[in-house]
Amino acid sequence: MHIQTAAVHTLRDFEHGAVVPPVHLSSTFALDCASEGGDFAYQRGANPTRAQLETVLAALEGAQHGFAFASGMAATAAALSTLVVGDEVLLPASVYGGTYRFVDLVLPGRGVTGRFVDDLGALTDADFTPSTRAVFIETPANPTLRITDLRRISELAHRHGALVIVDNTFMTPVLQKPLDLGADVVVQSATKYLAGHSDLLAGTITTNDDALAEAFALAQKAQGGVLAPQDSFRLIQSIKTLPLRLERQQENAGAIVAHLREREDIARVWYPGSYSEEEARIHASQATGGGAVLSFELADGLDRVAFLEALHYPAYAVSLGGVESLICRPATMTHEAMTDEARANAGISPELLRLSVGIENLQDLLDDLDQALVAAR
Ligand SMILES: Cc1ncc(COP(=O)(O)O)c(C=O)c1O
């Protein structure tokens, strides 16, 4: 089954001939009095609607296990909760700000160290110590869209007994399946493309590893950051149009990249594979498209604030992946928690703007960018 079909037909044949699944709101479930057993006991541990969503999540990824959390950060925290006192995790210096905050402020209290690496793609044996138990990857990186070779890093990490966790939020399983490339765990902020309408906070984990799956089920039950039944249902419904939305968003993004590259008032455009031919080759070998996020810098002398104020369609807001285009300034928004030096090392200049492209009419978006560039002069 192709992913477009899996997104729609993984769940089917519901009671009464319904074509969408029922929503089970019950927080508790009657048990068999003699055996004290039952499929479900209490909503935090498991509930039928979340279980259905988790089946869809696993199917999209071709994975054995799927888990739904109340946010992308709850999923990331659960994935990193497998680390114990004395362990170290390697992460890219430009990792999503919320992940940076968790690793910087929470993990040290648990005796776990996060080591931020400027160019994770350049990792070698020498970067691993006996304490290195995990490598956390975002490819494409945010907001520079730099690429990390998932096969190479997975092989390298496994040689050192370290887990590979991939935050696949920017690609989704429609464009990239890290578990097939050697990763152990995939996390996503489902708030972005999976939900797709900027109206739902959710996170996911998928894995093929049974022992890790047990740890994530424990994280759901013991830490309680699970997705509620109504939101699970809404995510099931949103996922049905994920491949379609992303296809249109990616088409728009590709055309905007080409358009901005032609303009003399744009200093630089970042898109997966644009950093080097090598990165373009790696990305093409592990993903089926560049996605719908791009970054750019205005040429010297243009007024950034005037440009942003003149834009009619993209709202000046964090987040990405929704049907509406959004634009943000990573240095002061998504990556504000990094030091100036770390941002400079990661290639995030104060002038860099990140555009998440929506499903609007392409010509309307191009015209809007062009008129805002005129206003910025
Ligand atoms: C790449 C990435 N990972 C994780 C997260 C965290 O997800 P959430 O906001 O759903 O907690 C975000 C949110 O912006 C993100 O962009």
Residue with CA closest to ligand 1 atom 7: 72
Residues with CB under 6 A from ligand 1: 71-73, 76, 96, 98, 138, 142, 167, 169, 189, 191, 201, 203, 319
Range(s) of the chain covered by CATH 3.90.1150.10? 243-376
Residue 356 pairs in a beta bridge with: 293, 326
Which one from 50, 133, 192, 245 is the annotated catalytic residue? 192
198 C-alpha vs ligand 1 centroid, how far in Å?
12
Which one from 149, 167, 184, 231 is the annotated catalytic residue? 167
The structure tokens listed for 230 are 């109504």
CATH tag for 3-239 (out of 3.30.70.520, 3.40.640.10, 3.30.300.30, 3.30.420.40): 3.40.640.10
Residue whose token pair is 């690429």: 147
Using one digit for the tens of pLDDT, what is the confidence trace for 270-310?
Answer: 999 999 999 999 999 999 999 999 999 999 999 999 999 99
pLDDT in 10s for each residue of the chain, 377 residues: 999 999 999 999 999 999 999 999 999 999 999 999 999 999 999 999 999 999 999 999 999 999 999 999 999 999 999 999 999 999 998 899 899 999 999 999 999 999 999 889 999 999 999 999 999 999 999 999 999 999 999 999 999 999 999 999 999 999 999 999 999 999 999 999 999 999 999 999 999 999 999 999 999 999 999 999 999 999 999 999 999 999 999 999 999 999 999 999 999 999 999 999 999 999 999 999 999 999 999 999 999 999 999 999 999 999 999 999 999 999 999 888 888 888 888 889 999 999 999 999 999 999 999 999 999 99
Residue whose token pair is 């799956």: 213
φ, ψ of residue 166 in degrees (nearest 5): -115, 125
Q: Let me know: does 256 contact 366? Beta carbons within 8 Å.
A: yes
Ligand 1 pocket: which of 69, 96, 139 to mutate (most atoms within 8 A of CB): 96
98 C-alpha vs ligand 1 centroid, how far in Å?
7
77 C-alpha vs ligand 1 centroid, how far in Å?
11
At residue 374, the pLDDT reads: 98
Residue with CA closest to ligand 1 atom 6: 72
Known catalytic residue at 42: no
At residue 359, the pLDDT reads: 98
Known catalytic residue at 96: yes
Known catalytic residue at 167: yes
Question: What is the side-by-side strand order in the sheet with 132-138?
Answer: 65-69, 203-207, 185-189, 163-167, 132-138, 88-92, 113-117
100-113 as b/e: b if 16+ CB within 10 A: bebbeeebeeeebb
SS (H, E, C) the chain: CCHHHHHHHCCCCCHHHCCCCCCCCCCECCCCCCCCCCCCCECCCCCHHHHHHHHHHHHHHCCCEEEEECCHHHHHHHHHCCCCCCCEEEEECCCCHHHHHHHHHHHHHHCCEEEEECCHHHCCHHHCCCCEEEEEEECCCCCCCCCCCHHHHHHHHHHCCCEEEEECCCCHHHHCCHHHHCCCEEEEECCCCCCCCCCCCCEEEEECCHHHHHHHHHHHHHHCCECCHHHHHHHHHHHCCHHHHHHHHHHHHHHHHHHHHHCCCEEEEECCCCCCHHHHHHHHHHCCCCCCEEEEEECCCCCHHHHHHHCCCCEECCCCCCCCCEEECCCCCCCCCCCHHHHHHHCCCCCCEEEECCCCCHHHHHHHHHHHHHHHC
Known catalytic residue at 44: yes
Q: Let me know: does 334 contact 354? Beta carbons within 8 Å.
A: yes
Range(s) of the chain covered by CATH 3.40.640.10? 3-239
At residue 94, the pLDDT reads: 87
Q: How many residues are there in the chain?
A: 377
Using one digit for the tens of pLDDT, what is the confidence trace for 160-210?
Answer: 999 999 999 999 999 999 999 999 999 999 999 999 999 999 999 999 999
CA-to-CA distance for 329 and 352, rounded, in angstroms?
Answer: 6
Residue with CA closest to ligand 1 atom 14: 319
Residue with CA closest to ligand 1 atom 16: 96
At residue 342, the pLDDT reads: 81
72 C-alpha vs ligand 1 centroid, how far in Å?
5
The CATH code belonging to domain 243-376 is 3.90.1150.10
Ligand 1 pocket: which of 188, 189, 194, 199 to mutate (most atoms within 8 A of CB): 189
At residue 15, the pLDDT reads: 95
pTM of the model as a whole: 0.97
| Ligand 1 atom closest to 190 (CA) | 10
Which one from 50, 87, 96, 100 is the annotated catalytic residue? 96
Ligand 1 pocket: which of 69, 71, 73 to mutate (most atoms within 8 A of CB): 73
At residue 118, the pLDDT reads: 87
